[in-house]
Amino acid sequence: MKKQACFKVLALVTSAFALSFSAQAGTYSVDASHSNVEFKVRHIVSKVSGSFKDYEGSFEFDAKKPEASKVNFTIKSASINTDNEKRDGHLKSPDFFDVAKFATLKFDSKKLKSAGGDKYKLEGDLTMHGVTKPVTFDVEFTGEGNDPWGGHRAGFTASTKLNRKDFGITWNKALDTGSLLLGDEVDVSLQIEGVLKK
């Protein structure tokens, strides 16, 4: 009997949580002050990291109907930051992001598929440097809850790997060893916290 009672309590708690989140399903605005958009790329023998500081976005999410989710995200390319002013200036130049010509990076989702538990595969189109390509992010739902200001928040992490040459960013430099200064593969990671729109 004790075991059956425990199972009943567990079922009630699980149902309560599901109902609680379902009640908060809707459209969320990305809180840029509590989110991060970061990347890493190989430089000779190590990896250099950087981030974008100016971005906005929104996502629709319902844990009961994840396939109906939508994500839209826009990044200001000129907000790139690697903590090195000279390098950042080069990254903003026509050799790389050419921010004067291509002011934004945009992602528009096409499909969200369950990958088991709180993990998902997010498919969509990424436009960068004037080129649009399909990409897939590995996404994990990290939780939801109320904040002290009367709002409701949901959090996600997302990651993917891109080949910068696919987007026409091809600049590189040959080294005396015969290898290249920069790698082509870029690791992209996002920590996203959204606030439910009222």
Instruction: Give the pTM.
Output: 0.85
The yes-or-no verdict on residue 3 having pLDDT over 60 is no
Residue 24 is predicted with a pLDDT of 67
State residue 175 phi and psi, 5-degree precision.
-100, 165
Q: Would residue 126 count as lying in a domain?
A: yes
The yes-or-no verdict on residue 16 having pLDDT over 70 is no
DSSP, residue by residue, the chain: -HHHHHHHHHHHHHHHHHHHHHHT-EEEEE-GGG-EEEEEEEETTEEEEEEE--EEEEEEE-TT-GGG-EEEEEEEGGGEE-S-HHHHHHHHSTTTT-TTT--EEEEEEEEEEE-STTEEEEEEEEEETTEEEEEEEEEEEEEEEE-TTS-EEEEEEEEEEEEGGGGT-----B-TTSSBSEEEEEEEEEEEEEEE--
What tens digit of pLDDT does each residue of 127-167 get? Answer: 999 999 999 999 999 999 999 999 999 999 999 999 999 99
The yes-or-no verdict on residue 22 having pLDDT over 90 is no
The yes-or-no verdict on residue 198 having pLDDT over 90 is no
Q: How far apart are the first and last CA of the chain?
A: 45
Q: Would residue 68 count as lying in a domain?
A: yes
Residue 66 is predicted with a pLDDT of 85
Bigger pLDDT: 99 or 21? 99
What tens digit of pLDDT does each residue of 184-197 get? Answer: 999 999 999 999 99
Q: Would residue 9 count as lying in a domain?
A: no
Q: What is the total count of domains within the chain?
A: 1
Q: Would residue 17 count as lying in a domain?
A: no
Mean pLDDT for 2-19 is: 43
d(CA 78, CA 55): 11
Cα dist from 17 to 132, 150, 154, 188, whole Å? 39, 19, 14, 31
Give the long-range contacts of residues 96-102, CB within 8 A, separation 24 or more.
Answer: 96/169, 96/171, 97/128, 97/129, 97/169, 98/129, 101/130, 102/77, 102/128, 102/129, 102/130
* CATH code of the domain containing 150: 2.40.128.110
What tens digit of pLDDT does each residue of 24-41 get? Answer: 679 999 999 999 999 999
What tens digit of pLDDT does each residue of 55-96 get? Answer: 999 999 887 888 889 999 999 999 999 999 999 999 999 999
d(CA 19, CA 176): 62
d(CA 166, CA 146): 41
Is 139 in contact with 147 (CB distance < 8 Å)? no
Residue-number span of the structural domain to which 107 is assigned: 25-196
Strand-pairing partners, residue 144, are: 154
Residue 8 is predicted with a pLDDT of 42
